[in-house]
Amino acid sequence: MTRHHRTDELVRALSGVNSFPVTPFDARGGLDLDRLAEHVDHQVRHGATSVFPACGTGEFAALSPGECRDVVEQTVRTVAGRLPVIAGVGINLSVAREQLASFEQAGVDGVLLLPPYLAPGDPEALADYYRGVITATDLPVLLYVRPEAPLDADALLRLCEHANVLGVKDGSGDAERLSRLAGALGEERVVVNGMPTAELSAAAFRGLGVGGYSSAVYNFVPDIAMAFRQAATDLDGARQEQILEAFYRPFGALRDRRRGYAVSLVKAGVSALLGSVGAPRAPLPAADDRTTRALIDLVEKARAEIGSDSER
């Protein structure tokens, strides 16, 4: 299928609020593709600039290759060209190459290249993995860098010399590397803030020249997410601080109660506020009732303080 968006459009989109939808499961733990379509449509209609199906928040590592394909195909159908769709690929070189062929047929606009499973400590071997995927496709590729799979700025800049590389999504927060990347890549490439609850570090990243970010909470409170983005766009520091204090910092404390809650608590929020998307798959823990109730109370209080519109 033909891509809906040019590469320059992708770079602009990635400089905004990027949606990483959860993957809904039914009562038996299987994919709920109808619910996925509802949720993705909701994400598209509330201000996001791109959609990333079957990535970290979408439990990429818990999906079979066939399930990843089904999620991506359903997302492309649902989005229908309204926003760029960038699908996650990875695990290992063989799987990533198979996913590339499948997702290209599905009509994605690009791919997010996740680090390999059990990433090697050797930077050259890791760079070979990234290069092996980049050169296997003409699709635009966004490189995802995480603490467990580090590459220095020089290695990343060499990878970005490939014509189909969009840039880097950074999940490590290495300020020196970020500053070098943002300064060297110019306007034809992009660096995306991929930290957990990225709004908490958005001001620091913006100071390094990185404006776009992934927003997990956009899944269930798009009104709050977009209010924060508007404040950032307006350079309204007081408004940003108000929203951080009312919602994001308390949410971060709830998220940190248990490992895995960066995804599990987002799914709990969607289920509680927008309709069930099922429990996360093992090894992610389901959010407990006490924390889920605290999350609901937090959202209600934050909306009252912020004055955001919770209309679906």
How large is the average pLDDT for residues 250-266? 98
Task: Provide the greatest CA pair distance for the chain.
Answer: 51
Distance CA 312, CA 237 (A): 27
Mean predicted lDDT score pLDDT of the chain = 95
Q: Domain count of the chain?
A: 1
Q: What angle do CA 68, 152, 16 make, to 5 degrees?
A: 55
How large is the average pLDDT for residues 188-214? 95
301 classed as catalytic: no
Predicted pLDDT at 289:
98
Reply yes or no on whether the pLDDT at 22 is more than 60.
Answer: yes
pLDDT in tens, 33-53: 999 999 999 999 999 999 999
123-127's contacts with Cβ under 8 Å and 24+ in sequence apart are 123/150, 123/151, 123/152, 123/155, 126/150, 126/151, 127/151, 127/155, 127/158, 127/159
Q: Is residue 249 part of a domain?
A: no
What is the length of the chain? 312
Q: Tokens at residue 111, please? A: 């791919």
Q: Is residue 45 part of a domain?
A: yes
Task: Characterize the bridge pairing of strands 165-170 and 190-193.
Answer: parallel
Q: Which domain holds residue 70?
A: 7-234
In DSSP terms, which residues pair with 167 in a beta bridge?
142, 190
CATH at residue 221: 3.20.20.70
Are the CB atoms for 46 and 81 separated by under 8 Å? no
pLDDT in tens, 207-247: 999 999 999 999 999 999 999 999 999 999 999 999 999 99
Q: CB within 8 A of 113, min separation 6: which ones?
A: 89, 90, 96, 130, 133, 134, 141, 142, 143, 144
Reply yes or no on whether the pLDDT at 312 is more than 80.
Answer: no
How large is the average pLDDT for residues 289-301? 98
Q: Is residue 60 part of a domain?
A: yes
Q: Does residue 116 sit in helix, strand or coil?
A: strand
Q: Is residue 253 part of a domain?
A: no
Q: Is residue 218 part of a domain?
A: yes
- Residue among 129, 169, 218, 248 flagged as catalytic: 169
Q: What is the DSSP letter of 49?
A: S
Q: Is residue 246 part of a domain?
A: no
- Local confidence band at 311 (pLDDT 50, 70, 90 cut-offs): low
- Local confidence band at 150 (pLDDT 50, 70, 90 cut-offs): confident
Nearest to 270 by CA among 246, 286, 250, 249: 286
Task: Tokens 């195909």: give the residue.
Answer: 73
Q: Tokens at residue 309, please? A: 């519109």
Predicted pLDDT at 74:
98
Predicted pLDDT at 52:
98
Are the CB atoms for 176 and 150 separated by under 8 Å? no
Task: Tokens 């799914």: give the residue.
Answer: 267
Are the CB atoms for 19 and 43 separated by under 8 Å? yes
Percent of residues, the chain, with pLDDT higher than 70: 97
**pTM of the entire structure?**
0.94
Task: Characterize the bridge pairing of strands 110-116 and 86-91.
Answer: parallel
Are the CB atoms for 71 and 108 separated by under 8 Å? no
146/273: higher pLDDT: 273
- Residue among 144, 218, 248, 261 flagged as catalytic: 144
Which range among 5-14, 18-27, 54-63, 241-250 shows the weakest confidence by mean pLDDT? Answer: 5-14
- Local confidence band at 118 (pLDDT 50, 70, 90 cut-offs): confident
Reply yes or no on whether the pLDDT at 310 is more than 70.
Answer: no
Q: Is residue 285 part of a domain?
A: no
Percent of residues, the chain, with pLDDT higher than 90: 88
Predicted pLDDT at 290:
98
144 classed as catalytic: yes
pLDDT in tens, 155-189: 999 999 999 999 999 999 989 999 999 999 988 99
Judge residue 282's burial from the number of C-beta atoms within 10 Å of its C-beta, 0-12 exposed, 13-18 middle, 19 or more buried: exposed
Q: CB within 8 A of 132, min separation 6: which ones?
A: 93, 96, 97
- Local confidence band at 3 (pLDDT 50, 70, 90 cut-offs): confident
Q: Is residue 169 part of a domain?
A: yes
